[in-house]
A and B are shown apart, each in its own frame.
Chain A
């Protein structure tokens, strides 16, 4: 199966309406001047009416960031980012945190409708999903708040959390991803503008899926959101995250930080469908997605599960990780990463086993088409005290076309003899036989590839909550359109 002229044409045809989220919302914005310095950080902090400790923390991060160098170990190449040429704050005007959805700018509501994210509660999927919508730098609406508050669940923007629940935020922020963690996380710590905050009280099983929808709209802005989720003893929460951005010629930076904390017997399930604008077929434009996601299984028997479907972004650099501190805690990572055209993805996970009988499972499916590069990079580390720890890792790569690359870079470090670590990986292509079998049953080559790829990813897709699974499946089809002839 090779790319021929026919394919090239198909790709061209598809190009026009391929990224359906590529529109721009015309809305009055308030932006900070371009550039990054201590004044900008003070400006952001003032805008958010933050307490002094948080401003100090931001400044500490900024000063540390100045001493750091941008990492270059990932298998991705991109033009240098000019950090002084970005707006670090952009917010739709007139949104002093609306009391109800009626006060939200209708333009914004329209945007989210267009994206297929209903913010009007009555339109929500029979009331099982609560949404926090983040537009550029700020959270614009959170649905189902009252119902959740009644049960003791805190689900709001992180700015609001800083005002309303400062002691919780102060206790946990930076406790999983310290401000000096890495280049992009440190930058985020200095300039983060918003994000979601979730606290699930002891013993509560959160009855609905919580969801955040991120949208980059404005030009020349970086998006730096910070999400903090805490599941107290015995709590459970399933959290969904989705992202889109307009189609633009320049690259935009997205450097987010997500911190999860699971205490004794708690469980957090974090699912992402990442569909930032990937750039055009020549690799022009698109989002740089440099994200630090980490969860700490602090308590015994706690569990953190990451599921991600990565189809967007020009460059992805992302390693959702689990620190398994509590005895018997469990970390899971399920990932599908699809790269097409000139996209580059370097993604994977880190499983750090500290406690006794900790277990982790890693299932990664990488699909590479066009001229894309797709790398799995993962670390499994067994510390000396992790008696009886267990890890299983499986990485499969699928190559479509002979101009793309698929790479597997696992690091295994074991310091305990009773630990068992297994890793396996395969790389293959869609076989002629599989295609023939599908096509002689009347499927077009596109449909056949979509079917085969969905089968290839099934182990991961079944981990996604239902609401996301449908969308993700369609997304896989769209992402690979035009990749076979």
Chain B
């Protein structure tokens, strides 16, 4: 490759255009500083290309050649309810990454949950930006995080007071709208000691929009807290979604994470969980459904840094048409993390000749008294299972649908929150119908 070409990082015009964008006075200076740091870091790390081990299966070349611009202040009449998770909950709406009060509904939110954004954030919240997550990260760094900072326009802070327990989830709805706009959303969640809350993120777009979104969530779970964190990625079918969730978990806390990826032309969800103390129960699960020429990447990293914690990870995917799925999962056990119990399973179902899966389940273990296992399977629907159903008078189409639904249902069942489990399960069934089974009738 020509070195003079290589030295120009894609997106540089877009990123540079985000730098001059200050209009917030003294807060604006602070924001400019974050953006400048992000820009320098991103240029230093370089564009995520397949020569980085963690990007070997997800090629962003096409994205690199696409021109994006910063979103203008857009009027969005209402949320695209059909594309977000149907849960009865207080809503925080983000439009192109910016908090939108009109579309949000915080009337039922409890006083035990504080929600702030860039305009009313406090000093200690600002300090969160300079905090480093303790980790034994792969050396290539996190380009998604750097890019997210470089084009930052707003931040959302959610703080759950210690001891408060909520039955009602909190719904963050992030909507992209516009033609070839690029934006970042950033969420900080701090779950106080012994609290409980379920947070749901729905990522979708206004009909017909094409956008690039970079979503970074930083989650801090204090001792004894229980946090459910569920995400639906249902962006428009021309959009790109690059997300990174970094969680740090203290003693005896429970983190229940689930990611469902169905939208976008290209999406990558990176979930990094750092288990800092003992007695933690950490679940990192997910499901994905890829059709047409979608590319769906799920990359997870579970790090055990303390003794006697448990992690469980199950990912299941269904791939049809020309879709490509990527799963990269790593369990990292530090020498101190004796008595770790780690489990990881990745399964993928290929439903067409041209679908493709690349799977890399990894174990990196430095402690001897551990129980860690992982497994991966790739294949199509079992002929025998189909036969079993058909022998009972169920037609081939219904039998296939039943099996695929059950296949995905198995991982949705892992979700600890009942209301969200039910909502996702309903949604998954509708999506399978729409994306896989009923479309053949339409044609």
* A residues at B contact (CB < 8 Å): 1, 73, 382, 384, 397, 399-429
Q: Are A407 and B380 in contact (CB under 8 A)?
A: no
B378 is contacted by which of A399, A402, A414, A429 (Cβ under 8 Å)? A414
User: Contacts A411-B360, A412-B360, A414-B357; is A425 near B375 (CB within 8 Å)?
Assistant: yes
Contact in complex: B368, A412 (CB < 8 Å): no
B363 pairs with A425, CB closer than 8 A: yes
Whether the Cβ atoms of B377 and A423 lie closer than 8 Å is yes
B365 touches A397 (CB 8 A): yes
Among B216-224, B297-305, B347-355, the one that faces the other chain is B347-355
Interface residues on B, range: 35 or more
CB-contact partner of A417 in B351, B360, B366, B377, under 8 A? B351
Q: Inside 8 A of A422's CB, which chain B residues have their CB?
A: 375-377
Min Cβ gap B420→A in Å is 30
Q: Which B residue's beta carbon lies closest to that of A391?
A: B378
Other-chain contact of A413, B358, B377, B380 (Cβ < 8 Å): B358
Residue contact B376 to A417, C-beta cutoff 8 Å: no
Is there a chain A Cβ closer than 8 Å to B193's Cβ?
no
Partner of B356, one of A399, A406, A415: A415
B335 contacts across to A, CB distance below 8 A: 402-403
For A387, the closest partner residue in chain B by CB is: B353
- Provide the bound-state CA to CA distance between A420 and B365, in Å: 28
B337 to chain A, nearest CB (A): 10
**Interface pair B377/A421, CB less than 8 Å apart:** yes
Are the CB atoms of A416 and B369 closer together than 8 Å? no
Q: Report the Cα distance A183→B341, complex, angstroms.
A: 39
A432 to chain B, nearest CB (A): 10
CB distance from B385 to the nearest CB of A (A): 14
Q: Judging by beta carbons under 8 Å apart, are A423 and B373 in contact?
A: no
Q: Quick check: B376 and A402 within 8 Å, CB to CB?
A: no
Minimal Cβ-Cβ distance residue in B for A73:
B53
Whole-angstrom distance between the Cβ of A381 and the nearest chain B Cβ: 9
Interface residues of B in 361-412 (CB under 8 A from A): 361-380
16 example contacts (A-B, Cβ-Cβ < 8 A) are as follows: A73-B53, A384-B353, A408-B364, A408-B374, A411-B359, A413-B356, A415-B356, A417-B355, A418-B379, A421-B378, A422-B375, A423-B361, A424-B374, A424-B376, A426-B373, A429-B368
Tell me whether A402 and B365 are in contact in the complex, defined as CB-CB below 8 angstroms, given that A417-B355, A421-B376 are known contacts.
Answer: no
Cβ-based interface call for B338 (8 A): yes
Return chain A residues, CB-CB under 8 Å to B358: 411-414
A contact residues around B367 at 8 Å (CB) = 399, 402
Q: Which residue of B lies closest to A396 (CB)?
A: B373
By a CB distance below 8 angstroms, the chain A residues around B357 are 412-414
Are A427 and B370 touching (Cβ within 8 A)? yes
Flag if B353 contacts A416 (CB, 8 Å).
Answer: yes
A428 to B351, CA, bound (A): 36
- Contact check, B378 vs A427: say whether CB atoms are below 8 A apart: no
B residues near A (Cβ < 8 Å) are 53, 335, 338, 348, 350-380
Q: B residues within 8 A CB of A417?
A: 350-353, 355, 379-380
Considering the complex, give the chain B residue whose CB is closest to the CB of A407: B364
Chain B residues whose CB sits within 8 angstroms of the CB of A423 once the complex forms: 359, 361, 374-377
B364's partner among A405, A413, A418, A424 (CB-CB below 8 A) is: A405
Question: Quick one: given A402-B335, A417-B355, are A407 and B378 in contact (CB under 8 Å)?
Answer: no
Chain B residue contacts of A415, Cβ below 8 A: 356
Query: Contacts A384-B353, A425-B374 given; 15 further ones with Cβ under 8 A?
Result: A384-B354, A400-B368, A404-B368, A407-B363, A410-B376, A414-B356, A416-B350, A423-B374, A423-B375, A425-B361, A426-B373, A427-B371, A428-B371, A429-B368, A429-B369
Assembled-state Cα–Cα distance A421/B379 (Å):
7
Residues of B within 8 Å of A424, CB to CB, are: 373-376
Closest chain A residue to B358, Cβ basis: A413
Which residue from chain A places its CB closest to the CB of B342 in the assembled complex? A427
Report Cα–Cα, A424/B359, bound state, in Å: 13
- In the complex, the chain A residue whose C-beta lies closest to that of B335 is A402
**Residue among B356, B358, B359, B363 facing the most chain A CB atoms (10 A cut-off):** B363
Q: How far does the Cβ of A26 sit from chain B's closest Cβ, in whole Å? A: 43
CB distance from B303 to the nearest CB of A (A): 14
By the criterion CB–CB under 8 Å, are A406 and B376 in contact? Answer: no
Minimum CB–CB distance from B6 to chain A (whole Å) comes to 16
Of the candidates B356, B358, B362, B378, the one having the most CB atoms from chain A within 10 angstroms of its own CB is B378
Q: Is the CB of A428 within 8 A of B370?
A: yes
Contact present for A401 and B362 (CB under 8 Å): no
Taking CB atoms, residues of chain B closer than 8 Å to A426 are: 371-373
Of B338, B360, B375, B379, which contacts A402 at CB under 8 A?
B338
Q: Lowest 5 A-B CB distances belong to which pairs?
A: A417-B350, A399-B368, A412-B359, A408-B363, A420-B379
In the complex, the answer to whether A427 meets B372 with C-beta atoms within 8 Å is yes
Q: Are A402 and B362 in contact (CB under 8 A)?
A: no
Known: A402-B335, A402-B338, A417-B350. A412 touches B369 (CB 8 A): no
Q: Quick one: closest B residue to A418, CB to CB? A: B380
| A231–B356 CA distance with the chains assembled, in angstroms | 34
